[in-house]
A and B are shown apart, each in its own frame.
Chain A
Amino acid sequence: MKRHGFRLYRHYLSLSIRSSMQYKSSFWLTMLGQALTTISTLLGVIFMFQRFPEVKGFTLDDVILCAGIVQLQFALAEMWARGFDRFSQIVRLGEYDRILLRPRGKILQVFGSQFELSRIGRIIQGVLMLVYALVRIRLRWDFLRVLTLVNMLIGGTGVFTAICILRAALCFFTLEGLEVMNIFFDGAREHGKYPLNIYGDKFLLFCTVAIPYALVQYYPLLYLLGRRADWFLPFLPLLALWFLIPCLLLFRVGVRHYQSSGS
């Protein structure tokens, strides 16, 4: 069965994408909405820098670079892990019953259940922010810098995917308590765009060891900007992928609590 796992995922992907192509106008509207969100995010950052020329050693361009990377990490995770992102709905609508009726892995099926093409708008905006900042900062590019950036995207997408899985796992225990999780999640999106050290040492420590968010954001950013040169920094973001393991395990535990939904 594992043999065809990848092929099956591609099949899911093509149906998902073709489904979303049916709604062209809503696709463009979503893109527009996303553009507005991004602009307001940027304005927030710019206003802040009108009052302070520097925030903890970071300039406006540095922060735009950071925000662009975070935006990409978030959007990539929401695009490909949409099934976990909207898992409470999957449970409520009884779609999870159907997943259990198929002779395939549950996690593969949840990933396959939806691919959110509309996140492409946020991705494009993230790339624009990134390019703008990189041009202004005039980094000297070398192989390790490129690798750092790529690893930040991989690791960051992994961390946010893990958080989606964590939220999904909680659906098995409580459907009401999710509201609180969502506040947490949206808060992370809102404040996660600044380099994490601006929130203080304790918070930075928490985001290093508990939720490895700083590993895909603050530390490799320092390397990218040439503030630190430790050899391990380009690889640090990949280490953050450990966070997927406890989240997947919790999902597996949650599965045992599944009790379907009335018809």
Chain B
Amino acid sequence: MIHMQNVVKTYRVARRDSGAKAAFFALFHRKYDLVRALDGLSFDIDAGEIVALLGPNGAGKSTAIKILSGILYPDSGAVECGGFSPARDRMRYTREIGVVFGQRTQLYWDVPVGDSYGLLQDIYDVPEAEFKRNLSELTELLDLKELLRTPARQLSLGQRMRCELAASLLHSPRILFLDEPTIGLDAVSKLAVRQFVKVLNEEKKTTIILTTHDMQDVEALSRRVLMIGKGKLLLDGTLQDIRRDGESLDESLVDFYQGIEGFDGKEE
């Protein structure tokens, strides 16, 4: 279903010395620093799996999601998802996927959430019957009834995240990408999100790839864990491969991260 092989992605970051003069000359002659976010990343994911991407800040998880969802082209390496080349087949491929970025919103801030959904129906050309069915199902599962008439700006973070999940599923995608879906949520909301993701995977067989820094998300959801460090795959296994006796999962994870060669605990 999802295939990534030897993927390399480098960002060019403009280096800018301070001062107006430097800013002016930077217009003509710019210097770039290259940040290698993915450095030969390879993995395969089957249809119907839930997989968690783990790794310290700056490891390249979000970059991997952006490449898998077609936002960015890889510099080199092969990417294939559900028979498509994500960035190249953007127009057809994006109908098959849903994407949630926990730090951003895809809802209109100032109109009722339900109206944002109506726009999504038009964007994806979802037939009326399918749209109604999906919406009522999602409303039920995510308890959205009260929220549909509220503008997104009046929602709490937890309420908004439930609305975001629904927004990314109205067109019945086969693959769902979740980048830090539980960030900033309280315990109750986290549970709701986890519960929903689990049901979605079991009943619809939706393939789910998520990133998180919350070990309980991983414990609750995914059998399989891909550990990424410095843009490389460090481990493809289960939580049991990380856990050490007599330590909490978080402690084991810290040990693991510290074992990543040269890891200094800071973003690069």
Contact = CB atoms under 8 A, between A and B. Distances in A.
A93 B105 CA distance: 10
Nearest to B28: A177
Interface string A224-263: 0000000000000000000000000000000010111011
B119 A259 contact: no
Nearest to B61: A263
Interface residues of B, number: 41
Interface in A19-50: 19-20, 22-23
Contacts of B70: 100-101
B123 A18 contact: no
B16 A103 contact: no
A7 B119 contact: no
B119 A101 contact: no
Nearest to A95: B104
A41 B115 CA distance: 41
Secondary structure class of chain A's binding surface, majority of residues: loop
Contacts of A101: 69-71, 94, 97, 99
B122 A18 contact: no
Contact of B72 (A8, A18, A259, A263): A259
Interface residues of A, number: 33
A140 interface: no
A94 B101 contact: yes
B244 interface: no
A11 B115 CA distance: 10
Given A4-B122, A11-B122, A94-B104, A263 B110 contact: no
B133 interface: no
A210 interface: no
B62 A263 contact: yes
Interface of B: 11-12, 14, 16, 23, 26-27, 30, 62, 66, 69-73, 90-92, 94-95, 97, 99, 101, 103-104, 106, 108-111, 115-116, 118-119, 122-125, 151, 179-180
21 contacts: A1-B91, A8-B122, A11-B119, A12-B119, A15-B115, A18-B111, A18-B115, A19-B108, A19-B110, A94-B101, A100-B70, A100-B94, A101-B69, A101-B70, A103-B91, A103-B92, A104-B123, A175-B14, A259-B12, A263-B103, A263-B179
